[in-house]
Amino acid sequence: MSTDETTTSAPHSGPDMDPEEFRRYGHQVVDWIAEFIAHPERHRVLPDVRPGDTSARLPASPPEHGEGMDAILRDFGDVIVPGLTQWNHPGFLAYFANTASGPAILGEMLTAALNNNAMLWRTGPSATELEERALDWLRQMMGLPAGFHGTIQDTASISTLVAVCAARERVGLDIRDQGMSGRDLPRLRLYCSREAHSSVERAGIVAGIGRAGTRTVETDAEFRMDPAALERAIVEDLAAGVKPFCVVATVGTTSTTSIDPVPAIADVCERHGLWLHVDAAYGGAAAVVPEMRWVMEGCERADSLVVNPHKWLFVPMDLSALYARDPQAIRRAFALLPAYLVTSEGAGVTNLMDFGPALGKRFRALKLWMTLRYFGAQGFAERIREHLRLARDFAAWIDADPAWERMAPAPFSLVLYRHRPSGMADDALDAHNERLMDAVNATGEIFVSHTRVHGRFALRLAIGNLRTDARTIARAWRILRDAAASVG
Amino acid sequence: MSTDETTTSAPHSGPDMDPEEFRRYGHQVVDWIAEFIAHPERHRVLPDVRPGDTSARLPASPPEHGEGMDAILRDFGDVIVPGLTQWNHPGFLAYFANTASGPAILGEMLTAALNNNAMLWRTGPSATELEERALDWLRQMMGLPAGFHGTIQDTASISTLVAVCAARERVGLDIRDQGMSGRDLPRLRLYCSREAHSSVERAGIVAGIGRAGTRTVETDAEFRMDPAALERAIVEDLAAGVKPFCVVATVGTTSTTSIDPVPAIADVCERHGLWLHVDAAYGGAAAVVPEMRWVMEGCERADSLVVNPHKWLFVPMDLSALYARDPQAIRRAFALLPAYLVTSEGAGVTNLMDFGPALGKRFRALKLWMTLRYFGAQGFAERIREHLRLARDFAAWIDADPAWERMAPAPFSLVLYRHRPSGMADDALDAHNERLMDAVNATGEIFVSHTRVHGRFALRLAIGNLRTDARTIARAWRILRDAAASVG
């Protein structure tokens, strides 16, 4: 960050930064952010650094005496920023692209200054009520029926862990109180498709279900869970004395954005009394577009559902929304009340600490509320619709070029593809496309990632940043073709 | 927030807020924060609202069309702020008081705008390396030996959950892969004192240990875990076929800030091969004061230790530092690598997603690094030393006044006390002090909380905000005595 060398800060003697000093540097930081947003081309998306490069430029020990903000901001600009992958860059087309939008950044600034911790209603009355209201707005925008109650978690991994713990408790084996080992309990089984996010398996690990307790169900040719295979697995497990307890369906898988057939899966869950959790961390956002509402079909029958506003709803990390049809099922799995947290409001209010593994509760709702208001429901729909359109365009270019190949359907804003030059042997394609990806990312102009589809290396192009536009995608297509020619 | 009515924002047509619009509102928000910091007296610490008051002022549905930032910021000021408990207020003396310091707020602003997600080294090289370096600085400041490796979690609850999962895995029963139920496993046992934070019990619930699997050990007259009682419990459990696996000791308990005898507890853990986790979420901060370093005695023998910079190290929620002597023990409990996250750096780098339950990783290290540099190691020590001094002063006033009674030792910056007017029957004291607390909090000038000590209602006065000074504490003492006179 370039700072005004003539205003080197005096040694700070007060207990905290003086308000006027905060004002001065706050304006400077805001100006830096405005420039950062206005001129993304000044920053590489994927930095040109090797492991240890940044560490080598950071002192091994903390300073004994305080330093001035000028020096700190200068190092931020010189040492930290050039070593960062720029997730808020329009050329970020990797993983799931996302946005720290203007109103959301303003919200984060206020959240930081207020430092509210709404663990109890009493410790953040308006923060608690705003969280419930903002999540209810989002529920309406996605077309989930009334009655689904939302709480904010940090990430989808934690939302899914919360759902798995609630499901585990609803089995009625008193696991919350009695635990899982040293008792005559059946093995518990959690189901998801082989395309599900690793957070499902990780939730199983944390919750004592174990990797073997998470059974991956086969998928069809379009990477969607096969409900018949799910039912066969459940019946087989029941016959073997295993206790099925939860199914995780995905609306928009991470690898290919496939959509599990939630209505048929809900039928299976109903027949066997299983908790249905839907991972719509990415895909749920699309439901704010009326003509995409269909992706949520069947989700109204889920017990819980996660959607991540920090993925495709324009708020920065972290903010994951967990909806539950019976919020008391979550409370039953988690609530504990030590003496020092008893308040006179008693059970008449929502205490957010009851709805997840963490006690402390950052005021995340503020940025969501400000962003929902700034863009409005239609504004969200228009922007996501545009991302869908850009992905369709890119997919069409791939489809029209015989040297390139689509690797999976693209129901959302992610396209999977690879370069397939005529004459290249099949078994050379993986290495070729990996080299191609490295060449593309080395430009620093765009950043694309990869996955494996049916075992084959596939490139991913994900659209989700608000400043990614038609020109960005056209440039990406040119960079990809240039790289293909050069690594050919 | 008061906004300039003449600059009502035009309808926004671009995909995101225009950089110039961001600059304008960014400056406005910075100015608001500067005023908020400069004039805390304009805000009640505990708001004067009843459940539902805020909800009633929030529309039931999201706006169809986007709104201008002026209207949003106006509602923020009119509806949200008056309903908030002001955790960043010098009169906040409840729970554990904390601070969103100036440099940390600036750090959060940049974190929000960058929106970095350092799940992999590749997706945030400098964020990853800065996290390791900043936590190593803090390790040195607390006097923990080299070799302890730090990672950032959101809250101490999650840090402790991570430690419990690592400990569970080190038992060698292959729980990560095989799970806990439907196998011939012994009941696992986790130990902590009866004064330990509820997050230990909650970690046990999540990890399938169960509430009954967490055994609370007796404490001495000063609320410290009795190591002989711990050993007896372990021996008794072993004889009954129960498998002890982890002990959580606390340096600065939540209720009374007692300090468990970690050296003796470490002896017990060593004898029985148990994982020792130290919850120093609050108390660890005091170790940056050289003459308080003793509070960490024995912690060098812990397997893991948590300290929360967002408690008493001047960064806002959320930032919890988890240290482990063998970071691979954490990795073994959590690491999973889906195809779409394989990178060419391979195992040569730290991928932060491997060290906890969440995949996504907000760039929390930035605010810590900026704050550590701004105040410096000695600056931290001076400020915490001052908080300790203020607490000693207040405790001395309580001790000197026959109408008041100390309820526990005060090794840190928390004082426990109650009003005990001469002639009042013992069994009336609880209700009397609760009324007194309500009267104090109703002033809106300070906010104090309570706990129970040996079953008796005790008031807590916690010092941890940088702007809390001698005048604040003198005023608190006056308000308490006035309230005692009025509810008498």
Q: What is the pLDDT of residues A405-434, one digit of tens each?
A: 999 999 999 999 999 999 999 999 999 999
The answer on pLDDT for B1 being more than 70 is no
State how far the Cα of A67 lies from the Cα of A29, in Å rounded to an integer.
17
Average the pLDDT over each of A2-6, A117-121, A270-274 and give the range with the smallest value.
A2-6
- Which phi and psi (to 5°) does residue A205 adopt? -60, -50
DSSP B9: P
Nearest to A115 among B100, B207, B450 (CB): B100
Burial class (CB in 10 A: 0-12, 13-18, 19+), A469: middle
Q: What is the pLDDT of residues A232-272, one digit of tens each?
A: 999 999 999 999 999 999 999 999 999 999 999 999 999 99
Query: A358 to chain B: nearest residue by CA?
Result: B157
Q: Which chain A residues are within 8 Å of B22, Cβ to Cβ?
A: 30, 33-34, 37, 102, 105-106
State how far the Cα of A341 lies from the Cα of B460, in Å rounded to an integer.
12
Whether A343 and A382 share a structural domain = no
- pTM (two decimals): 0.97
Nearest C-alpha of chain B: how many angstroms from A411? 19
Whether B244 and B320 share a structural domain = yes
- Of A320, A336, A362, the domain-final residue: A362
Whether B173 and B247 share a structural domain = yes
The answer on pLDDT for A470 being more than 80 is yes
What residues 244-273 of chain B have any CB closer than 8 A to a CB of chain A?
Answer: 254-255
Could you tell me if residue B435 is inside a domain?
yes
Average pLDDT over residues B456-478: 98
Burial class (CB in 10 A: 0-12, 13-18, 19+), B291: exposed
Could you tell me if residue A5 is inside a domain?
no
The answer on pLDDT for A9 being more than 50 is no
Whether A298 and A407 share a structural domain = no
State how far the Cα of B394 lies from the Cα of B411, in Å rounded to an integer.
13
Whether B243 and B127 share a structural domain = yes
Residue B297 touches chain A, beta carbons under 8 Å: no
Six token digits for residue A212: 């073997």
Judged by CB atoms closer than 8 Å, whether chains meet at B383 and A15 is answered as: yes
Could you tell me if residue A324 is inside a domain?
yes
State how far the Cα of B185 lies from the Cα of B342, in Å rounded to an integer.
34
Provide Rg for chain A, Cα atoms. Answer: 24
- Of A296, A331, A362, the domain-final residue: A362
State how far the Cα of B258 lies from the Cα of B251, in Å rounded to an integer.
7
Q: What is the pLDDT of residues B113-156, one digit of tens each?
A: 999 999 999 999 999 999 999 999 999 999 999 999 999 999 99
Report the CATH number at residue A487: 3.90.1150.170
Can you give the pLDDT at residue B339?
Answer: 75
Whether B241 and B313 share a structural domain = yes
Can you give the pLDDT at residue B2?
Answer: 53
Report the CATH number at residue A177: 3.40.640.10
Q: Give which of B9, B13, B16 to mutate to test A binding, by max A Cβ within 10 Å.
A: B16
Can you give the pLDDT at residue B157?
Answer: 97
Can you give the pLDDT at residue B70?
Answer: 98
State how far the Cα of B184 lies from the Cα of B329, in Å rounded to an integer.
24
Among positive and negative, which fits the CA dihedral B299, B300, B304, B305?
positive
Average the pLDDT over each of A278-287, A467-476, B296-305, B347-356 and give the range with the smallest value.
B347-356
Can you give the pLDDT at residue A2?
Answer: 54
Instruction: Give the CA angle between residues B462, B466, B468 to the nearest 5°.
Output: 55
Judged by CB atoms closer than 8 Å, whether chains meet at A241 and B182 is answered as: yes
Could you tell me if residue B479 is inside a domain?
yes
Among the listed residues B190, B237, B238, B184, the one whose alpha carbon sits nearest the alpha carbon of residue B211: B190
Q: Which chain A residues are within 8 Å of B130, Cβ to Cβ?
A: 54, 58, 80
Q: Give which of A119, A153, A317, A363 to mutate to test B binding, by max B Cβ within 10 Å.
A: A317
The sheet with strand B214-217 has its strands ordered as B149-153, B320-324, B304-307, B275-279, B243-250, B188-193, B214-217
Whether B390 and B306 share a structural domain = no
Whether A284 and A405 share a structural domain = no
Could you list the residue range(s) of the whole structural domain that residue B461 is in?
377-487
Helix, strand, coil tally for chain B in percent (to 5): 50, 15, 35
Whether A309 and A435 share a structural domain = no
Whether B351 and B208 share a structural domain = yes
Judged by CB atoms closer than 8 Å, whether chains meet at A317 and B115 is answered as: yes
The answer on pLDDT for A4 being more than 70 is no
Could you tell me if residue A264 is inside a domain?
yes
What residues 368-407 of chain B have any CB closer than 8 A to a CB of chain A?
Answer: 370, 372-379, 383, 386
Report the CATH number at residue B78: 1.20.1340.10
Residue A105 touches chain B, beta carbons under 8 Å: yes
- H/E stretch holding B406 reads strand B404-406
- Of B43, B68, B88, the domain-final residue: B88
Helix, strand, coil tally for chain A in percent (to 5): 50, 15, 35
Q: Which chain B residues are within 8 Å of A355, Cβ to Cβ?
A: none
β-partners of residue A250 are A279
Average pLDDT over residues A176-197: 97
- The number of folded domains in chain B is 3
Average pLDDT over residues A437-464: 97
Buried b / exposed e across B437-453, counting CB within 10 Å, b at 16+? bebbbebbbbbbbbbeb
Judged by CB atoms closer than 8 Å, whether chains meet at B112 and A129 is answered as: no
Cα distances (Å, whole numbers) of residue A301 to A262, A277, B393: 9, 10, 59
Whether B142 and B239 share a structural domain = yes
Can you give the pLDDT at residue A12?
Answer: 65
> Which residues are CB-contacts of A272 (< 8 A; sequence separation ≥ 6)?
A234, A238, A244
Judged by CB atoms closer than 8 Å, whether chains meet at A37 and B31 is answered as: no
Could you tell me if residue B6 is inside a domain?
no
The answer on pLDDT for B7 being more than 50 is no
State how far the Cα of B206 lies from the Cα of A126, in Å rounded to an integer.
29
Could you tell me if residue B97 is inside a domain?
no
Could you tell me if residue A428 is inside a domain?
yes
Q: What is the pLDDT of residues A10-46, one digit of tens each?
A: 456 789 999 999 999 999 999 999 999 999 999 999 9
Q: What is the pLDDT of residues B298-345, one digit of tens each?
A: 999 999 999 999 999 999 999 999 999 999 999 999 988 777 777 777
Judged by CB atoms closer than 8 Å, whether chains meet at B27 and A22 is answered as: no
Q: Percentage of chain A with pLDDT > 70?
A: 97
Can you give the pLDDT at residue A5?
Answer: 45
Residue A101 touches chain B, beta carbons under 8 Å: yes
Q: Which chain B residues are within 8 Å of A176, Cβ to Cβ?
A: 205, 210-211
> Which residues are CB-contacts of B277 (< 8 A; sequence separation ≥ 6)?
B160, B163, B164, B167, B246, B247, B248, B249, B302, B303, B304, B305, B306
Q: Percentage of chain B with pLDDT > 70?
A: 97
Whether A299 and A389 share a structural domain = no
DSSP A306: E
